[in-house]
Structure 1
Amino acid sequence: MALLRINIFMEDARDRIDCISSYWHKLSERTFCRDLTPGKPLFRHNIHLALNYHLLHVSLGRCFIVENFNPGVSCTEGVEWLKLRVSLVDEGISSAIAIIDLCRILHDEKYLSKLSYLEVSSCYAAVMALVVSYSYDKNHTLRDAYEKGVKILQDVSTKFSSIGFRKHVVENLGIAFKRSDNERKRSAAGLDEDGYKQFRNWVALQEIAPQEGS
């Protein structure tokens, strides 16, 4: 019964993603919708549309990144579920990287606004997804995208409490990110805890030593 519910949920998520992706790729690439050329009349509007599109993928995929998520079924029984999960996670991470790239375009073109909830929240969600993913998959693409995202958030952070709080959280995540990378380099064996538990422990430690790594 549990496996049936999981498959229904995952298939529904996949069908929705497929439907939205099909619709997205049918949109115009000239001037309207998917034209991301700087200087065009609808440049920023189109960027926002793309951010919403990719944020949906991140939102659906990020909850399945954690490796020790176990629905209580055997590997044999859960093969189809595992395939769907991998697909959603991969699409979510790809979209997280795409969000960082879109925010970088806005930043470079002087359009990125600290008052835009969509721009800041999308970048923040992408950074968090990349940090968690990196705790399992140490590759330079994730690291580079993460560092770009953090730099963008730092640039738009102000004294406003909501953004300031996010900056504080991102900085703590950055410390966890660096520790994860350093631990991997020191020893292939590492700690016997799973990656996500290490990640949570590292973040918790920052409440004790918030200045470390700054």
Structure 2
Amino acid sequence: MRFEPITWERLSETLAEHADGLHPADGGPWLRIGVDGAPAALPGDRAEHVAGALRARGRTVLTVSTGGFLRPASLRYEYGKQDPDAYAEGWFDTGALWREVFRPLEPGGSGRVLPDLWDPVTDRATRSPYRVLPEGGVLILHGPLLLGHWFPFDLRVHLSLSAGALRRRTEEAEQWTLPAFARYEDEVAPAESADVVVRTDDPHRPAWTGIGA
């Protein structure tokens, strides 16, 4: 896999230009983009940059974080608070993401998306109001471990970190999650299923594969 240097600004503009010309694979009126990456790769920041570039093109964009779709603590911590297999398999409520985010954007759907469901600080439902994404709008879902669930993304962006860079840039309190990301690389191979891979070992000097590599 060959990488070429690029700036974050140019990357966001290029991805927005490409997405602006895409047609949803299911024939529906909503485009769905996934920005996949470990927290150390800052997928939320990168998603917001792409969203801003799309809004500048006149598109309505809704960004959603998987961090708002965590399962209750009683389920996340069933095997302890630092179990990497539980983190990989059971921390994120993928069923709720399908129900509240993706199904409303299927052909004939309502467009009513729930932006978040669960507050991990209070361990209670957020009770956030639904957001209506108009036809022609774009959903950007961002977070870790996204590409192993068959989510119907029309554009998949993977923020890649080498094992060494991931270790260096992951906070000490979160080092226990590293085996989950190693497993993700082995079992899902996100760089192979993504449409775009961005190498982020140096956060100031990203490099990418181009689109559709």
For normalisation by structure 2, the TM-score amounts to 0.28
Rg (Cα) greater in structure: 1
Higher strand share: 2
Which protein has the bigger helix share? 1
